Amino acid sequence: MLIIGLDPGLGTTGWGVIAKSGNRLSHIANGQVKTDPRASLAERLVTLDRELTGVILSHRPDAGAVEEVFVNTNAQSTLKLGQARGVCLLALARAGLPVSEYATRVVKKALVGTGGAEKAQIQAMLKVLLPGVKLAGADAADALAVAIAHAHGGNGAYG
């Protein structure tokens, strides 16, 4: 089974694809979709959709998992993040994939054992769980963590 995890963001959305065979996990690919901050919001969302659709068509996952929105104190930032997250959900659903959603604390707990884990702990655990993985960046690492949380039997908020 192939699982794609997404860490939504308007500026950078991370993605990670893993394979699950029984209890064994293996890294397939990871990357980041970056949008041009000088482009309009609509153009940035189109770029995000186009790039994610390409990743999905290229890897043909069987399921998708998306990190839930982290609420910022800045309402504008939260709204933009929510819009990027909506594009992520749409791209997965349009591909016919079952989609699950995971809170950040759930993802951290699935990987490290505590919901308060730091990013460095997550990245260290990724290297243990996916030997030889070369991370495309912090957002790609977070996306792989979401995929692994799903692989570890999480049903997600809506999955």
- Confirm whether 142 is a catalytic residue: no
| Catalytic residue chosen out of the listed positions 51, 68, 101, 139 | 139
Q: Which of 67, 68, 101, 142 is catalytic?
A: 67
Closest CA to 119 of 135, 97, 138, 144: 138
Determine which one of 7, 51, 101, 142 is catalytic.
Answer: 7
Both tokens of residue 86? 């909506």
62 labelled catalytic: no
CA atoms within 13 A on the CB side of 51: 21
User: Sheet of 12-21: strands edge to edge?
Assistant: 24-34, 12-21, 2-7, 63-67, 99-102
Identity of the residue numbered 119:
K
Is 139 a catalytic site residue? Answer: yes
Residues classed as catalytic: 7, 67, 139
